[in-house]
Structure 1
């Protein structure tokens, strides 16, 4: 039987999600790169970009002047499946914006620790 939401695993992934969020807001590219699985199968769909493979994701972040727009996390749901797979879904609001953003990530445990293997970021319709 698959164990869902083991508290210890949820705590591990929550800590990794916190680390990701802090690095994103500080534009710490080395940390962000370290949190993504370095593989051609890693995918990130952004608000305005479609990136296939770690190399494209790293190049996008390096080329983004000023880093990610600052944001505040409104809600986060961490769900774990067994001990090596998790999803993190959150809603956020960018500073000065009225559109709610959404981010979904799939995390897997690797020999190097927890890594993001799939990510998606989108914005909802304007709420004003």
Structure 2
């Protein structure tokens, strides 16, 4: 099935206005990661026991576990993202993927997030973070 067929059969994909909203929410989240802004990081996730985050060496199920884990984490100084891709589906759902690096580390991080528009704004409902050797990119 071609991209045109998928768009005609389902929700609008990559509406520019929706894409811009998600890009702004993602940029705010990334800035909070680098700064260690706990309030923005916690606010960025869906406040639900169904929220899931798979980290590099950790796993949180539910917003309470996520907030408790996040409280133990500091700023991510030097984090650099690249190859960020945002795909929106309709007006209320988006998937964001990005690669990231830290100065002096020979690995590449991968991050994927599912964002959903809630009554309070865009929130991450599911996230996954992993690392691979730099030769794999």
Alignment partner of 1:116 is 2:124: yes
Structure 2 residue corresponding to 1:32, chosen from 34, 41, 63: 41
For 2:78 and 2:47, locate their aligned partners in 1 and report how far apart those are by CA, in whole Å. Answer: 25
| Offset from partner CA, 1:3-53 (integer Å, 9 cap, x none) | 000000000000000000000000000000011000000000000101100
| Kept after mapping to 2: 8 A contact 1:61/1:67 | no
For 1:69 and 1:119, locate their aligned partners in 2 and report how far apart those are by CA, in whole Å. Answer: 20
- Quote the RMSD (CA, aligned, Å): 1.4
State the secondary structure of the residue aligned to 2:76.
coil
Q: C-alpha displacement at 1:95, in angstroms?
A: 1.9
The residue number in structure 2 matching 1:44 is: 53
| Kept after mapping to 2: 8 A contact 1:10/1:78 | yes
Q: Normalising by the residue count of structure 1, what TM-score does the alignment of the two structures yield?
A: 0.94
Alignment partner of 1:94 is 2:77: no
Q: Normalising by the residue count of structure 2, what TM-score does the alignment of the two structures yield?
A: 0.88
Q: Which 4+ residue blocks in structure 1 deviate beyond 4 angstroms?
A: none
Structure 2 residue corresponding to 1:84, chosen from 88, 92, 95: 92
For 1:127 and 1:116, locate their aligned partners in 2 and report how far apart those are by CA, in whole Å. Answer: 30
Structure possessing the higher radius of gyration over alpha carbons: 2
State the secondary structure of the residue aligned to 2:100.
strand
Change (3 A) 1:44 1:12: same
Q: Give the gaps of 5 or more residues in structure 1.
A: none
